[in-house]
Amino acid sequence: MSATMDKANPTGGVSENGNEHSREREWMTAAEAAEYAGGVGVCTIREACNRNTLRHIRIGGGIAGPIRTRREWIADWLGRWARGGDIH
CATH topology for the 25-82 domain:
Multidrug-efflux Transporter Regulator; Chain: A; Domain 2 (1.10.1660)
* Separation between Cα atoms, residue 87 and residue 73, nearest integer Å: 19
Question: Cα–Cα distance between 42 and 40 in angstroms, integer?
Answer: 7
Q: Residue 3: its pLDDT value, please?
A: 42
**Residue boundaries of the structural domains of the chain:** 25-82
Q: What pTM does this model have?
A: 0.67
Q: How many whole angstroms separate alpha carbon 8 and alpha carbon 47? A: 32
Helices (H), 3-52: 3-8, 30-36, 42-50
Per-residue confidence (pLDDT) for residue 53, from 0 to 100: 96
- Beta-bridge partners for 79: none
Element (H, E) at 55: none
Q: Which pLDDT tens digit goes with each residue over 16-75? A: 444 444 457 899 999 999 999 999 999 999 999 999 999 999 999 788 899 999 999 999
